[in-house]
Amino acid sequence: MTKLLLVESPTKAKRIASFLVAPAWKVIATRGHLRDLPPDSLGIDIDHGFAMSYVTLPAQKALIGKLRTAVSAAESIYLATDPDREGEAIAWHVADLLKTEIGSKPVHRVVCTAITPVAVQAALAASRPIDLALVEAQQARRTVDRLVGYLTSPFACKLLDTRVSAGRVQSVCLRLLVEREKAREDFEAQHYWTLGAMFSVNDITVDAQLARVQGKSPALTRRDIVDRLMAGLQSAVFWVEAVSQVERKRSPLPPFTTATMQQAASNALGYSADRTMKIAQTLYENGLITYIRTASTLVPPDAITNVHDVIRQEYGANYVAKSNVTVAKPIHVSSEAHEAIRPTDVTVRPSEIRSAEGAKLYDLIWRRFVAAHMADATYNVSGAKIYAGKAPAQPYPLEFHAKGRTLRFDGFLKVYEEALDEGETHILEVELPLLEARQILTLKQWQAQEHVTSAPDRYTEASLIRALEQHGIGRPSTYAVMLTTLRERQYFNVAKKRLVPTALGIQLSLLLSKHFPRCFENGYTASLEAALDQIAHGKLSRLQLLQLFWKRDFAPPLKLLAAQVRPPLADGTPMSSPLGNCPRCGAPLIERRGRHGTFAGCSQYPRCQGTGLSRPPHITTATSALQGVSPS
């Protein structure tokens, strides 16, 4: 008899099969989820512990038959779905759906973070039971997301008189865009001035800026203030009061997480989050990089040893980092503690990658990983404090500061420097001439400049992802799909790389914030993610979270809204709903536009061309779920 190994991706299945000896092993891909909540009903029994009713995805029926046959013929089953909560849930669904065929056969959960012979063998040797705490966390998230989207969307459609949809996380993401737009509209530009001076000493020029007036930062809000200052100092004596020179170190950034990879690819390569994840998935499935959905920056010791060897050979021993451990705690951990995204074999160079897009992203990942294990860059930072007065040692109550910074040792900068978002700038390298205390300076000219404060910039995709991560909103692995959904539903447009909320997006966001002030608030969304982490760690039960969410946070405002909105037509004409999941691959369906109008298409298009026809929920569906719930 054979051992059966189940993975999610056909590409991954083919690669892993090449590592394992046939006929002792058989590898089959599940192609994602085999079942999900029904597309035409809520699928959650709120009154009975939020029990979930699953249905088999139509497109998976033939595959399930194949799996039943394979499981019946196997002596043991190894479930090597992706190493995250979603993968854990898929493994559980497979085991539950095929429990009759499995019977008493041993079932092993295999967690593999890289598709290489060594990694696969190590994962098989370290197999474990299915982690039910992770499954509970995934089901709790799925339940909350379903309740919010399925029960909120019909009311939003009715009130806005158009087809819209709400989502627990995507609507909070939209809220960030809308709040930034409001901040721009409310912004009032302020004019201010800076006063610089060019001095000379021994035929050397020194540029300095007015930094302190009476011990405080100068408030030069009008030109006449600047004119009076310049006139009053025209006959002053200027001298160097003090000089300083110190060495500053600049440390490299840690290896990529999902979110930081998406940000860097956007800034450096112009890739959308969705495009980045698709390319990264291909690199992962071909064994070139480690698992791409992670919030960890941990690197195993053997990988650190290997990258140190490469650095030593390529750049010299002085470029190797003194510390052997790369650890940087993520801002919010909403996925399990995997390792960072890195090359599986650091000796494989970007030039060896066949795909042009894949080579560019791999090059970014390779350089970031290598740089993370290189020595700090060091700078000489110099400064001079310049006084003015009637005579030396008789200063006026003001100071000019001159600053300089020059690179002393490039360290990790030889390999990698983070590309900046649009509008950001690197610190310029400026060499400050050698000055000595008590040197007299000659004023050559004033450099008065007017400035106008700018409104907060609209988000780019990279800066929005950074904000989502900083606020702890959602999971980085879902950012790409979330942004694609918001864009395709026309809740925002992209203008010169900036995300501009549409009128529809603004109306929807304001509506949800008004009626659900708590559920669609940044801090609440982050706290819910933390609660899901507690479930994953076995410190909180799924039922505890769902009961608190339903009774305290969601049902009361939903019931108040239901009392304000009339149900749809008597014939039960539906208003709107989440669109369910793709019958082919199980990915979320999103609204697309074609020659004959809108339709439900797979969010993974063009990789998957599945479509779906799911009946939207009625407002009456939402109101029936609220029976017995107090609005207060």
Phi-psi region of 508 (alpha: psi -120 to 50; beta: other; left: phi over 0): alpha
The catalytically annotated residue of 284, 291, 491, 524 is 291
Distance CA 40, CA 538 (A): 33
Residues 462/423, Cβ–Cβ less than 8 Å: no
Q: How many CB atoms sit inside 10 A of residue 532's CB?
A: 22
Q: How many CB atoms sit inside 10 A of residue 551's CB?
A: 12
Phi-psi region of 236 (alpha: psi -120 to 50; beta: other; left: phi over 0): beta
Residues 277/292, Cβ–Cβ less than 8 Å: yes
| DSSP H/E element including 364 | helix 356-371
User: In the structure encoding, which two tokens stand for residue 257, read together?
Assistant: 């997480």
291 is catalytic: yes
Distance CA 457, CA 44 (A): 42
Distance CA 253, CA 350 (A): 20
The residue among 325, 320, 299, 318 whose CA lies nearest residue 309 is 320
* CA 586 vs CA 38, 425, 608: distances in Å: 12, 42, 10
Q: What is the dihedral of CA 286, 291, 297, 300, to 10 degrees?
A: -70
Q: For residue 246, count CB atoms less than 10 angstroms from its CB and return exposed for 0-12, middle for 13-18, buried for 19 or more.
A: exposed
Residues 220/418, Cβ–Cβ less than 8 Å: no
Give catalytic residue positions.
291
